[in-house]
Amino acid sequence: MIDIQLIRDNPELVKENIRKKYQDEKLPLVDEVAAMDKEFRDAKTKADALRGDRNKLSKEIGKLMGQKKFDEAEATKAKVAELAKELADLEAKEAELEEGIKVRMMTIPQIMDPRVPQGVDDSENVEIERFGEPVVPDWEIPYHTEIMESLDGLDRESAGNTSGNGFYFLMGDVARLHSSILSYARDFMINEGFTYFIPPFMIHGDVVKGVMSFKEMENMMYKIEGEDLYLIGTSEHSMIGRFMGQILKKEDLPYTLTSYSPCFRKEVGAHGIEERGLYRVHQFEKQEMVVICEPEDSEKWYNILWSTTVKFFRTLDIPVRTLQICSGDMADLKVNSCDVEAWSPRQKKYFEVGSCSTLGDAQARRLGIRIKGEKGSYFAHTLNNTVVAPPRMLIAFFENNLQADGTVRIPEPLRPYMGGQEVLVPVKDKKNAL
């Protein structure tokens, strides 16, 4: 949510930002907010004047009563009653206008970083940098579900019976590998100096509205029927919500946090054929990074966050690239955003495995997260980034570590978490060895 002062001072800047996001249907909101804000301030000014008159007359009544001027006192009481009714009407109008302004302000997108490239959709996102050499072997790589099934590590059919499409059972070494990746990610982030959290996996509606846009909320969140609780789509939701309504001490910043959670998502919308299997699912687990910092430090932390994810993937010998998200593909609360994409030797292209975002003061403004400094209080900046999100990361892992004989190499950092195993062997090969 932007500062309403920006609409008062420079509405054209707000409109141009909306145009760059190709959301022209939202342009009228700027003028509506400006008009309602003027009406609200006029009503408030009038109400404040009425309160002053009422208080003055109320004091006058006491004097008149003391002077035994009862008729004049009664007349003054009548005037006070008239003022009270007029004031009540104005206060109701103020509340109605304030709510109308809030609803519109929460729909107007955050002002983007001027360096964000303009583009309509994800086809116009821009590659920034590659890390590691993308390799395509001279033998065919099976689809990731086939690799996992060869290891007797995946059962989608039974999950379809218990839970429906978009769910899965992981088993055996594949399940252990999944947990090992998350354990390694936890320790990796602790070693990077982040504080480890396991947050609540359900949050109230006011937190949801504070951390994401209405469109994201509708497309992502599962609501608990009959309760003001939602299943989180990422631990960022709980972690940012933890600071709701707080005034943070300047000397305590930055907060650098890493959190584990399961994630639950509706995944509404049509997706391509390459997004079947375990690419897009309703339930997964993730290690996340969250930073709360001074406004002037947010760009520095943005660069630290995405580069930390790159570093993590490179320790597992997975080539990655960073991709700058364009204006039309970026969520409304974000100031700047990039994806980390892993190399798929089977598809001969990169695909998303994580996303890094700086949200400026958008979430802090919605949730009332302020910093107390020498010159008063001001809104904090918030950032978030994916460390790793299996099972999608497993796709990149299996494709990049699969060997010609069907075995899967386990990179050295994961071996302590896998009981010392250096390779995963297909079940048929294990049986033949016996």
pLDDT band at 300 (very low <50, low <70, confident <90, very high): very high
Question: Is 339's pLDDT higher than 70?
Answer: yes
The overall average pLDDT reported for the chain is 92
- Residue that has been written with the tokens 């090969």 in this structure: 429
Average of per-residue pLDDT across 84-112: 93
* Nearest residue to 269 (alpha-carbon basis) of 225, 218, 223, 233: 218
Whether residue 323 contacts residue 353, with contact meaning beta carbons closer than 8 Å, is answered with no
The one-character DSSP state at 123 is G
Question: Is 270's pLDDT higher than 60?
Answer: no
H helix runs in 67-138, sequence order? 70-105
Residue-range domains of the chain with CATH: 4-105 (1.10.287.40), 122-433 (3.30.930.10)
* Nearest residue to 151 (alpha-carbon basis) of 390, 409, 429: 429
* Nearest residue to 117 (alpha-carbon basis) of 402, 379, 325: 325
pLDDT value, residue 269: 52
Average of per-residue pLDDT across 258-274: 76
User: Please, what's the largest Cα pairwise distance for the chain?
Assistant: 111
Q: What is the pTM of this model?
A: 0.89
Q: Write phi, then psi, for 155 (nearest 5 degrees).
A: -135, 100
Question: Is 271's pLDDT higher than 60?
Answer: no
Average of per-residue pLDDT across 336-348: 97
Question: Is 352's pLDDT higher than 60?
Answer: yes
Number of H helices, E strands in the chain: 14, 18
In this prediction, what percent of the chain has a pLDDT beyond 90?
A: 79
Q: pLDDT: is 428 or 105 the higher one?
A: 105
Q: Write phi, then psi, for 319 (nearest 5 degrees).
A: -65, 140
Contacts of 217 (CB under 8 A, 6+ apart): 208, 209
With H, G, I as helix, E, B as strand and everything else as coil, classify residue 196. strand
Give dist(CA 158, CA 329) in Å, integer: 36
Give dist(CA 366, CA 102) in Å, integer: 10
Question: Is 307's pLDDT higher than 90?
Answer: yes
Measured in residues, the chain has a length of 434
Other CB atoms within 10 Å distance of the CB of residue 353: 24
End-to-end CA, the chain: 63
Other CB atoms within 10 Å distance of the CB of residue 271: 10
Give per-residue pLDDT as tens, 363-398: 999 999 999 988 899 999 999 999 999 988 999 999
Question: Is 218's pLDDT higher than 50?
Answer: yes
pLDDT value, residue 272: 53
pLDDT band at 86 (very low <50, low <70, confident <90, very high): confident
